[in-house]
Structure 1
Amino acid sequence: MNRLLVVVAHGDDETLGAGATIARLADLGVTVSLCVLTNDDGSRSASGAGVTNRLSAIESAAKVLGIERLQVNQFGDNRLDTVGHLELNRVVEREVREFEPDTVFTTSLADLSLDHQLVARAARVAGRPGRGSVREIRSFEIRSATDFGETSGISPAFRPNCWQPVDEIYLDRKLEALRSYGKEVEAWPNPRSERGVRALAEYRGSQVATEFAEAFELVRAVL
């Protein structure tokens, strides 16, 4: 892996889903680019009151994780279903064309969040064979989206087949980046709490006999 493109719906998805792995890869010399489709927190209020721009938080988290390139688009939070799928595809295809990644990380089709599902589809379209440089696509899990999808009956559920062991130093980087998002970090026992994020890393690590890990579904890999 030399060039990694991370495609997400919301700022904080990249950190919750693969923050420790991103930090580790960046330290190993992988060039990481982040493409975020939305730039507000409109779902925090049904009336839209108090909606805030999240660019500064995204930039802060990206710096902690070692992300070198950042593209934040202006679609609305929890409103990607009002955007034509062709338009979403074109945004991600442009990122693939300009950045020329060999690997793409994105959200899971199994998530309860429709935004996450739509972005996952757009990333797969943009990374399809014969249309660019992408040789590997992985989807990651996001606490309170992927796990809630499974408990809500979404099928097929997230089933990891690829694990990245991470040292505690990278788990700490992930939690530091997550703090950039302020109110998005909940109190325990919410799954989006720092303790909840650590608990998931411990659980995924225990599946492969290591202390901490992040889990992925390997969608496609060309060897």
Structure 2
Amino acid sequence: MHRTMRRLLIAVAHGDDETLGAGGTIAKLADDGVRISLCVLTDDDGSRSENGLGATPRSSAIEAAAKILGIERVRIHSYGDNRLDTVGQLELNRVFEREVREFEPDTVFTTSVSDLSLDHQIVSRAARVAGRPGRGSVREVRCFEVRSATDCGEASGMPAFRPNCWQPLDASHLERKLEALRAYGSEVESWPSSRSERGVRALAEYRGSQVCREYAEAFELLRSVL
């Protein structure tokens, strides 16, 4: 049996996590008529500068990328970049629980606890709490990989990212992902960085090759109720 997805909530710590991790899938689902909401906990790049001084707001880039991908609803909070560990887990759980109540998603996408980024781990736990059985409309929860975070986790002693779900992509959806990534400006790095356009394309080709498709994105499917 196949469960039809109708409403998707994407829960992330930083603007660009959603694009790097699932941008192609988001574009495809939007084209298929899925209603999509994005909830981002931070709105700055404070970790890029000493003591967070001179941090640059990223709300305009988040909104621009969301429009390219077809995300219709965006909620941006103002917690500090790489400072989510200074916020109580209960408070962050409640942010996503409120999103689940208001948007009523049947599916949640989020980052992986395998990531080197502590922000990503914290968000993943909060999203799982919000999407737990019996507390709302969520029937499926998936985690995606974010280059330079997920791929560095295992080498640093984190559990490995173990995909068990692949979304094949058309070339047009991959190009939308790359276009959305460009909206983040300096977050796009030069090759051979895994966060470069070439690196993103290489990962899509690799994940596609795992399922005999040209391009794909991979997920850890945590729960799916048919």
Residues 1-49 of structure 1: per-residue CA shift (max 9 Å, x gap): 0000000000000000000000000000000000001110001112323
Distance in 2, matches of 1:151 and 1:193, equals 21
Distance in 1, matches of 2:104 and 2:146, equals 26
Q: TM-score, normalised by structure 2?
A: 0.97
Structure 1 segments unaligned to the other structure (5+ residues): none
Match of 1:21 among 16, 21, 25: 25
2:183 — aligned with what? Answer: 180
**Quick one: which amino acid aligns to residue 189 of structure 1?**
P
**Quick one: which amino acid aligns to residue 220 of structure 2?**
E
Structure 2 segments unaligned to the other structure (5+ residues): none
Q: What secondary structure does 1:47 align onto?
A: helix
Residues 108-151 of structure 1: per-residue CA shift (max 9 Å, x gap): 00000000000000000000000000000000000000001012
1:45 — aligned with what? Answer: 49
**Quick one: which amino acid aligns to residue 106 of structure 1?**
T
Query: Identity of counterpart residues, as a percentage?
Result: 77
1:199 — aligned with what? Answer: 202
Quote how far apart the aligned CAs of 1:105 are: 0.2
Distance in 2, matches of 1:60 and 1:92, equals 22
Match of 1:221 among 207, 216, 224: 224
Match of 2:171 among 165, 168, 174: 168
Residues 202-223 of structure 1: per-residue CA shift (max 9 Å, x gap): 0000000000000000000011
Task: Tell me whether 1:12 sits opposite 2:16 in the alignment.
Answer: yes
1:136 — aligned with what? Answer: 140
Distance in 1, matches of 2:149 and 2:204, equals 16
Distance in 1, matches of 2:28 and 2:52, equals 37
Q: TM-score, normalised by structure 1?
A: 0.99
Q: CA RMSD in A?
A: 0.6
